[in-house]
């Protein structure tokens, strides 16, 4: 199990810097919360290895945004599972930021364990006794909640926020959605190293997917991949097994 002392993750960062987020990261270890996927089957989302394999943007300290055109297309869930797998593969030096105004079931308990949202943290004057992060016990993944709309924080502040966490983590995954309706992820799309688009196979129409890609690029973001989520396979599983190994069962 990984240590949850973030000072060990970023030993070269001097606490005397005028960077309150870095100070919070190195001042004391954040609280631990239960890793809700610990008893679940292996990751079924777009794995960390897939992100690395298909993107030149993923390098040391890279920040990647998963987003979709609208809500309920599964982008935050895929982002979270990718971040969790990345934490397991990189000894916990991974941060997941939930940047959706909707809090899905998988994130509710985690959110309740986070003392303060990133939005409130960067707008708060006295941050000495607050650490806006939690660590998942089994995976070592560090989690934060943005907790507001993009309009609630200045663009310069968001830039500083992303730069701060990039000093401390090997990989930052941001789970957002609703980009076409000016969701929070719209502001992050131009600040990260790459954007992965998520489309619901049963819901998102091709013109909407093209509009989403165009919106990211027009906003200054770099699209590095796309995921067709919740795809249904209409051929029975036993036929797949007989065709691709494993025989008829």
pLDDT of amino acid 229: 78
Bridge partners (DSSP) listed for residue 145: 98
Give the CA angle between residues 200, 45, 81 to the nearest 5°: 115
Higher pLDDT, 240 or 72: 72
pLDDT of amino acid 59: 60
Q: Which residues, 6 or more positions from 222, have their beta carbon under 8 angstroms from its beta carbon?
A: 57, 193, 194, 195, 216
Distance (Å, rounded) from C-alpha 235 to C-alpha 118?
A: 45
The pTM of the full predicted model, rounded to 2 decimals, is 0.81
Q: Is the pLDDT of residue 13 over 90?
A: no
**Dmax (CA) of the chain:** 65
Q: Is the pLDDT of residue 8 over 50?
A: no
pLDDT tens readout for residues 110-150: 999 998 898 888 777 556 677 889 999 888 999 999 987 76
pLDDT tens readout for residues 186-221: 889 889 999 999 988 878 788 888 999 999 999 889
Which tokens belong to 34?
Answer: 């239960």
Higher pLDDT, 146 or 248: 146
Burial bucket for residue 137 (CB in 10 Å: 0-12, 13-18, 19+): middle
* Strand ordering across the sheet containing 31-33: 31-33, 134-136, 142-145, 94-98, 171-175, 62-68, 194-200, 223-229
pLDDT of amino acid 11: 40
Dihedral angle of Cα 239, 242, 245, 246, to the nearest 10 degrees = 100
Which tokens belong to 15?
Answer: 């606490």
Q: Is the pLDDT of residue 175 over 70?
A: yes
Distance (Å, rounded) from C-alpha 65 to C-alpha 191?
A: 9
Distance (Å, rounded) from C-alpha 176 to C-alpha 153?
A: 16
Mean pLDDT of the residues in the chain: 78
Q: Is the pLDDT of residue 17 over 50?
A: no
Domains of the chain: 6-243 (3.40.50.300)
pLDDT of amino acid 89: 81
Share of the chain above pLDDT 70, in %: 71
């Amino acid at each position: 199990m990984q240590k949850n002392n973030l000072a060990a993750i970023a030993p070269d960062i001097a606490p005397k810097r005028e960077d309150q987020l870095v100070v919070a990261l190195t001042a004391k270890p954040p609280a631990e919360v239960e890793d809700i996927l610990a008893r679940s089957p292996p990751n079924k989302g777009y794995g960390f290895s897939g992100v690395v394999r298909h993107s030149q943007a993923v390098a040391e300290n890279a920040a990647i945004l998963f987003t979709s055109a609208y809500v309920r297309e599964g982008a935050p869930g895929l982002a979270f599972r990718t971040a969790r797998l990345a934490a397991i593969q990189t000894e916990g030096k991974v941060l997941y930021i939930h940047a959706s105004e909707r809090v899905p079931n998988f994130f509710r308990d985690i959110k309740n364990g986070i003392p303060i949202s990133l939005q409130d943290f960067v707008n708060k004057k006295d941050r000495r006794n607050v650490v806006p992060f939690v660590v998942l016990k089994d995976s070592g993944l560090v989690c934060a909640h943005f907790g507001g709309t993009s309009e609630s924080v200045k663009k310069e502040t968001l830039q500083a926020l992303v730069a701060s966490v990039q000093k401390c983590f090997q990989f930052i995954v941001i789970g957002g959605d609703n980009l076409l309706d000016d969701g929070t992820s719209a502001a992050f799309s131009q600040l990260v190293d790459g954007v992965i688009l998520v489309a619901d196979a049963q819901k998102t129409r091709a013109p909407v997917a093209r509009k989403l890609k165009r919106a990211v690029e027009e906003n200054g973001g770099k699209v590095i991949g796309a995921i067709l989520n919740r795809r249904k396979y209409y051929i029975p599983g036993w036929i797949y097994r007989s065709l691709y190994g494993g025989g008829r069962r």
